Amino acid sequence: MRKPSLRAYRIIALFLLGCLLFNYPFLALFNVGATAAGVPVLYVYLFSAWGFVIAAAAVLVEGGG
Amino acid sequence: MAKRVLIAEDEPSIVTSLEFLMRRAGFDTRSAVDGEEALSLLETFHPHVVLLDIMLPRVSGLEICRFIRGQPALAGTRVLMLTAKGGQREVERGIEAGADDYLTKPFSTHDLVARVQALAADTPLRIAPGPDPRFPP
Amino acid sequence: MLEGWVIVAASFAYIGVLFAVAWFADRRAAEGRSIIRNAWVYSLSLAVYATAWTFYGSVGRAATDGVGFLPIYLGPTLMMLLGWFVIRKMVRIVRLNRITSLADFLASRYGKSALVGALVTVIAVIGILPYISLQLKAVSTSFQILLGYPEIVMPPRAGTLVAMQDTAFYVALLMALFAIVFGTRSLDAAERHEGLVAAIAFESIVKLVAFLALGVFVAYGMYDGLGDVFARAAQRPDLDVLMAPLEGAAGSYATWVWLTVLSMIAIVLLPRQFQMAVIENTDERHLRRAAWLFPLYMLAINAFVLPIAFGGLLHFPEGNVDADTFVLTLPMTQKVEWLALLVFVGGLSAATGMVIVETIALSTMVCNDLVMPVLLRIRALRLTERRDLSSLVLDIRRAAILALLLGGYCYYLLAGEAYALVSIGLISFAAVAQFAPAIIGGLYWRGGTRAGALAGLSAGFAVWTYTLLLPAFAKSDWVGAELIEHGPWGIGLLRPTELFGLSGLDQITHAMIWSMIANVGAYVAASLARRQSAAEHVQATLFVDVFQQTGEPGSSWRAATSAAALQALVGRFLGPARAAEIFAAHARGRGVKSVDELEGDRDLVRFAELQLAGSIGSASARTMVATVAQEEPLGLEEVMTIIDEASQVIAHSHRLEEKSRALEAATQELKAANERLKELDRLKDDFISTVTHELRTPLTSIRAFSEILHDNPDLDPAERQRFLGLVIKESERLTRLINQVLDLAKIESGLAEWLTAEIDVREIVLEAINATSPIFRSRGVQVQTLAAESVPPVVADRDRLLQVLLNLLSNAAKFCTPGKGRVQVRLAVAGDRIRVDVEDNGVGISPENQALIFEKFRQVGDTMTEKPSGTGLGLAICRRIVGHFGGRLWVESEPGRGSVFSFELPAAAAGRLVANA
């Protein structure tokens, strides 16, 4: 059997991180009425976490051929 | 003042012929039948030209050639390499070791004399015979 | 500006552009310059995920749930990360097995079971139909609203209009037309639709641009940026709750989690997603780009959902405008007509993309996994005997597309108003989620069986129907509301929305929990309950271990047919011309000239089956091929040997390891052999080079003296005589050398002539001493002979033996100190051997040189004073001569004390055998 590459492990780790970020209890931390620059923090948090996962995915899968 | 030619060759009959040819051409000549003798003659005789057999016993012609090129005192000494194998590799090794010219045995005696004369003409006369202060006795 | 005809014209213009894009892509594909073989196009085509539901419904959901719409997009983001593992595996399986749809995939996985395929098709059609109707509803509603411009009027309820006047009806027909034109033009084994993919990618761009334009307009045109929208919303107490809308782990968070899971499944298993991501994939590597680009697309299209939702809620505080229509109504209130039209086109784009791909995917399933298997089994139709079935297959698909759209339209008429857009979509998501256990198990668990798949799918689908579809029907008054409220027969525990008393959850979460328990439970239990059949095991292994396979899957067909029969069979579905083309190409690939030369072997049968699978599905293909070829019954033994790929792979890799070790060893041997050859080659070169050298040396003297004598006629006579003498001496040396080289060459090559006879060694020894006595005398060396009176004869060549002795004696003379030298020659009998020793008291030979002197051209001696006069070949020749007569020649020596050269020869009695050998 072929062993998964380091890149494969990294992608799976990112998947697990994504599962964590997009879930309870992290969401609960930001599920408050506060705003950042006028925008609700939950909204800011979700979109930045989402953006981070996408950017990390891009770096992971496209980097190094 | 005649220029000096050192013959370094282990084949007696070839030595005889070379000695004759060099004397006829007006050179002062000494002969060495192996590398060691050639080295000691280099120090004492200070030849302008060395006729050097590449397959010399004890110390090879190539070694002697390198020795000559490593000695500032012998900077003016010209080396004519004689090779009996005639392979290109042999010639290359001779040139690398610092030979000025080479001839493959058997050679034309006219050609040989002409080349030695050309090499001798290229040599500064001031290479003096006798002990040089830079060489230990 | 926004009169009815303008909207209709814009819609038609847009559809026209779509046709043009698709047509262009198809033409490029035909020319071999595909535009969809591109990771960007692939990623964009996946955005068919964003339907009218996203376009209109996300805002609607955001208006009630805040960020609650996001899990539907976060799930796919996570799933795409796993795409390289999961989707790529599916792509590989699909390519290797010519799978054309999700139903085909599952049917093929579970032993090419037609029943599994049919069940999946039924679930998919029932599950997706509401989703299609949702798209029709969206287009129709948006059209009605736009038609009301400049008034903002909510459209009348569906069903109050006669079909002929209803936009949705025409929309359905138009979409059916597009799907038919680009989805069912021809049957092809690969079943790819380049034009379709290009059109979908184009639509993805249109809807994104439209939505972003609207978002920017709302956030920055109507309000002062995002902060302003949120700040104003925060002042409204009824909206404030949307800022932090999540609550309690069992409530919103559970919903959140389930929606994420649902959408993770949906992004792969919705028929349209499976079509785009797996079937239409042209290159596995495109998945890398899609892993981030597609999530980025979703992030972009959702970025302005909340601002638009809040903007709408702020703008229509009375709540008389449906939040699902904010996208359209907001630009209308601001009288920005072009934007309203653009948004309409964007929504149209989202809806058409979904409907077209979904219906094509479903029609393939309906045709290949539902209709064809049934038709082929009805013997009365004699379909299996018909010549050309390709048009029939295409017609079935066209009819299926039309039927699906009309079905969607009917659903829209009858039930469409009951739910908001999002809820309808989620019901469909939950339906396709029922495929997940069978698919995931099918990909990773070899033990999943056909029975398991059937049980799981049935159980899951039943629970889905009971807990989601039934309540939906109830809302449309199709079933009594009391069933929902009190349960069947008044049994409270069986209430569809609070099954077994599980309450406090939203409907989707509730349905998912129960359906997944039923589905997974039944799948696993039924799989474990009974052993797999051989065919199932084969397929399971093919799927699970797809990455370990190198080529096409193995075959279970027995050769019992001809190439012509197979071609005819394939021709019935793909058309005779296409079949001829495919078979001719296959023949070329196999290295034979024409199809006639192809053997109807199991590979060819398998090839034909794959071609058919591409057009009518694996289960039907199997049925069809069975009509011309016999299936090989798989015995248990064969199953054990052929099938367990995993153990085979392991064994294979073991063998490979062994082989590579063997190869390594062989390489080492080869290297060594090569080294030996090189060494021999070098020795040969050395020999030639040495011979050359040895020849040139006397030549040099001869030429030099000749030229001197020629050029100097005035030489004195004595010197002249000396030089002539040298010329003669060197000439002799040259002659001797040439003779010896030839001699040695002869001996070595076996060409030497030997005059063998029984000879007396004693006589030869004495003759040799006699012959060399002048040399000894001239050097002042004493020779002593100790010879036995008589020795037995030996078998040898007299002259050669004499040559050996002369050589040894002259060597002895040469290396003795002149005047002090003593040489002793001994002849004795040693057992059955005659032994001769030649001892001198010369310089001796050092131990390291004792072996060398017998080699060619090795001269060891006192070279300080003079060059040895030999050729360096003498001892080499001597040793060979002695060896030839079965004897040996060796030396014992001590430097400074002299040497003893000895040889032994067998006495005649023993020697005859050797000599004659």
Residue type, C393: V
Q: Where is the domain boundary, C717, C745, C773?
A: C745
Determine, yes or no, domain membership for C815. yes
Residue type, C513: I
Is residue B5 very low, low, confident or very high in pLDDT (cuts 50, 70, 90)?
A: very high
Q: Are residues C154 and C202 in the same domain?
A: yes
Rounded (5°) CA angle C859-C865-C871: 30
Residue C863 is predicted with a pLDDT of 40
Q: Tally helices (H) and strands (E) across chain C.
A: 39, 7
Tell which wins on pLDDT, C813 or C167: C813
Assess whether pLDDT exceeds 50 at residue C342.
yes
Q: Are residues C619 and C661 in the same domain?
A: no
Q: Where is the domain boundary, C719, C745, C771?
A: C745
Residues of C in contact with B87 (CB under 8 A): 689
Residue A64 is predicted with a pLDDT of 57
Rounded (5°) CA angle C307-C315-C216: 35
Residue C653 is predicted with a pLDDT of 66
Per the CB < 8 A criterion, the answer to whether C471 and C424 are in contact is no
What DSSP string runs through C812-878?
A: HHHHSPTTT-EEEEEEEEETTEEEEEEEE-SS---HHHHTGGGSTT---S-TTT----S-S-HHHHH
> Count of domains in chain A?
1
Buried b (16+ CB within 10 A) or exposed e, C641-650: ebbbbeeebe
Residue C569, min C-alpha distance to chain A (Å) = 39
Mutation to test the A interface, candidates C69, C72, C74, most A Cβ within 10 Å? C74
Residues making up chain A, counted from first to last: 65
Q: Does C867 touch chain B (CB under 8 A)?
A: yes
Residue A32 is predicted with a pLDDT of 73
Determine, yes or no, domain membership for C483. no
Minimal CA–CA distance to C700: which of B18, B114, B48?
A: B18
Q: Tally helices (H) and strands (E) across chain A.
A: 3, 2
The domain in which residue A37 lies consists of: 6-62
Residue B13 has its nearest CB partner, among C696, C711, C726, at C726
**Long-range CB contacts (within 8 A, 24+) of C23-31:** C23/C195, C24/C195, C24/C198, C25/C194, C25/C195, C25/C197, C25/C198, C25/C199, C26/C182, C26/C194, C26/C195, C28/C194, C29/C194, C29/C195
Query: Hey, which chains touch C, using 3+ CB pairs under 8 Å?
Result: A, B
Task: Give the helix/strand (H/E) hosting C796.
Answer: strand C794-797
Q: Are residues C46 and C187 in the same domain?
A: yes
Residue B106 has its nearest CB partner, among C703, C729, C866, at C703
Tell which wins on pLDDT, C528 or C242: C528
> How far is Cα C430 from Cα C433, in angstroms, rounded to an integer?
5
Residues of B in contact with C871 (CB under 8 A): none
Determine, yes or no, domain membership for C471. no
Q: Does C658 touch chain B (CB under 8 A)?
A: no
Residue C246 has its nearest CB partner, among A2, A14, A31, at A31
Determine, yes or no, domain membership for C250. yes
pLDDT tens-digit profile of C135-158? 888 888 888 888 777 777 676 654
Residue A46 has its nearest CB partner, among C67, C240, C547, at C67
Q: Which residue of C has its CA nearest to B18?
A: C704
Provide the ipTM: 0.92
Instruction: Give C783's contacts (C-beta < 8 A, 6+ positions apart).
Output: C769, C772, C773, C776, C823, C824, C825
Residue B7 is predicted with a pLDDT of 93
pLDDT tens-digit profile of C653-677? 667 777 787 888 888 888 888 888 8
> How far is Cα C212 from Cα C54, in angstroms, rounded to an integer?
13
Residues of C in contact with A23 (CB under 8 A): 253, 256-257, 260
C693·B24 Cβ contact <8 A: no
- DSSP 8-class letter at C907: B
> Count of domains in chain C?
4
pLDDT tens-digit profile of C677-716? 887 777 777 777 777 777 888 889 999 999 999 988 888 8
Q: Which residue of C has its CA nearest to B53?
A: C697
Determine, yes or no, domain membership for A50. yes
Determine, yes or no, domain membership for C722. yes
Assess whether pLDDT exceeds 60 at residue C281.
yes
> What is the count of residue pairs from B and C with beta carbons less than 8 Å apart?
79
Q: Where is the domain boundary, C745, C767, C789?
A: C745
Determine, yes or no, domain membership for C540. no
Residues of C in contact with B84 (CB under 8 A): 692-693, 696-697, 700
> How far is Cα B112 from Cα B106, in angstroms, rounded to an integer?
10
Q: Are residues C147 and C84 in the same domain?
A: yes
Residue B114 is predicted with a pLDDT of 92
Per the CB < 8 A criterion, the answer to whether C101 and C365 are in contact is yes
Q: What percent of chain C has pLDDT over 90?
A: 4
Residue B22 is predicted with a pLDDT of 92
Where do we find the tokens 């909340």?
Answer: C306
Residue C718, min C-alpha distance to chain B (Å) = 14
Instruction: Tell whether omega for the bond before A40 is within 30 degrees of 0, i.e. cis.
Output: no
B and A in touch (3+ CB pairs within 8 angstroms): no
pLDDT tens-digit profile of C2-57? 677 788 888 888 888 888 888 888 888 777 777 777 888 888 888 888 888 888 88
Q: Are residues C208 and C340 in the same domain?
A: yes
Which of C115-129, C694-708, C900-914 is predicted least confidently? C900-914
Assess whether pLDDT exceeds 50 at residue C822.
yes
Tell which wins on pLDDT, C402 or C896: C402
Q: Are residues C701 and C825 in the same domain?
A: no
- Sign, CA dihedral C875-C878-C884-C889, equals negative
C64-71 average pLDDT score: 80
Is residue C395 very low, low, confident or very high in pLDDT (cuts 50, 70, 90)?
A: confident
Mean pLDDT of chain C: 79
Q: Are residues C852 and C731 in the same domain?
A: no
C608-630 average pLDDT score: 71
Residue B109 has its nearest CB partner, among C708, C723, C863, at C708
Determine, yes or no, domain membership for A22. yes
Q: Are residues C611 and C651 in the same domain?
A: no
Tell which wins on pLDDT, C744 or C857: C744
C707·B24 Cβ contact <8 A: no
**Long-range CB contacts (within 8 A, 24+) of C154-160:** C154/C320, C154/C321, C154/C322, C154/C325, C157/C417, C158/C412, C158/C413, C158/C416, C158/C417, C159/C413, C159/C414, C159/C417
Residue type, C168: A
Q: Could you tell me whether strands C756-759 and C794-797 are parallel, antiparallel, or unpaired per DSSP bridges?
A: antiparallel
Residue C75, min C-alpha distance to chain A (Å) = 9
Q: Could you tell me whether strands C794-797 and C833-840 are parallel, antiparallel, or unpaired per DSSP bridges?
A: unpaired
Collapse the DSSP code of C751 into the 3-class scheme (helix H, G, I; strand E, B; otherwise coil) and give the result.
coil
Residue C388 is predicted with a pLDDT of 67
Residue A42 has its nearest CB partner, among C240, C244, C650, at C244
Residue type, C733: R
Q: Does B84 touch chain C (CB under 8 A)?
A: yes
Collapse the DSSP code of B128 into the 3-class scheme (helix H, G, I; strand E, B; otherwise coil) and give the result.
coil
A50·C77 Cβ contact <8 A: yes
Contacts with B, C 662-691, CB within 8 Å: 689
Is residue C914 very low, low, confident or very high in pLDDT (cuts 50, 70, 90)?
A: very low
Backbone angles phi, psi at C480, to 5 degrees: -65, 140
Determine, yes or no, domain membership for A1. no
Minimal CA–CA distance to C427: which of C382, C467, C390?
A: C467
B and C in touch (3+ CB pairs within 8 angstroms): yes
Collapse the DSSP code of B136 into the 3-class scheme (helix H, G, I; strand E, B; otherwise coil) and give the result.
coil
Bridge-partner residues for C824, per DSSP?
Answer: C784, C839
C161-176 average pLDDT score: 68
Instruction: Give C582's contacts (C-beta < 8 A, 6+ positions apart).
Output: C189, C570, C574, C611
Q: Are residues C790 and C828 in the same domain?
A: yes
Residue A65 is predicted with a pLDDT of 45
Where do we find the tokens 């980097």?
Answer: A63
Assess whether pLDDT exceeds 70 at residue C162.
no
C256·A51 Cβ contact <8 A: no
- DSSP 8-class letter at B130: S
Instruction: Give C675's contacts (C-beta < 8 A, 6+ positions apart).
Output: none
Residue A8, min C-alpha distance to chain C (Å) = 8
pLDDT tens-digit profile of B51-80? 998 888 778 888 888 888 888 888 888 999
Bridge-partner residues for C828, per DSSP?
Answer: C835
Residues of C in contact with B109 (CB under 8 A): 703-704, 707-708, 711
Residue B49 is predicted with a pLDDT of 92
Q: How far is CA C552 from the centre of its chain?
A: 12
Is residue C412 very low, low, confident or very high in pLDDT (cuts 50, 70, 90)?
A: confident
Determine, yes or no, domain membership for C558. yes
Residue B134, min C-alpha distance to chain C (Å) = 29
Residue B132 is predicted with a pLDDT of 44
Q: Does B71 touch chain C (CB under 8 A)?
A: no
Tell which wins on pLDDT, C617 or C773: C773
Residue C78 has its nearest CB partner, among A19, A32, A51, at A19
Assess whether pLDDT exceeds 50 at residue C864.
no
Assess whether pLDDT exceeds 80 at residue C836.
yes
Determine, yes or no, domain membership for A34. yes
Q: What percent of chain C has pLDDT over 70?
A: 83
Q: Are residues C874 and C731 in the same domain?
A: no
Residues of B in contact with C726 (CB under 8 A): 13, 16-17
Residue C701 has its nearest CB partner, among B11, B87, B104, at B11
Q: Are residues C767 and C813 in the same domain?
A: yes
Residue C77 has its nearest CB partner, among A8, A18, A32, at A18
Residue B74, min C-alpha distance to chain C (Å) = 26
Domains and CATH numbers, chain B: 4-121 (3.40.50.2300)
Assess whether pLDDT exceeds 70 at residue C432.
yes
Instruction: Tell whether omega for the bond before C150 is within 30 degrees of 0, i.e. cis.
Output: yes
The tokens of C469 are what?
Answer: 């579809």
Residue C901, min C-alpha distance to chain B (Å) = 26
CB atoms inside a 10 Å sphere around CB C267: 26
Q: Does B17 touch chain C (CB under 8 A)?
A: yes
Q: Are residues C131 and C53 in the same domain?
A: yes
Minimal CA–CA distance to C347: which of C171, C148, C153?
A: C171
The domain in which residue C910 lies consists of: 754-916
Residues of C in contact with B85 (CB under 8 A): 689, 692-693, 696
Mean pLDDT of chain B: 82
Determine, yes or no, domain membership for C530. no
Per the CB < 8 A criterion, the answer to whether C612 and C625 are in contact is yes
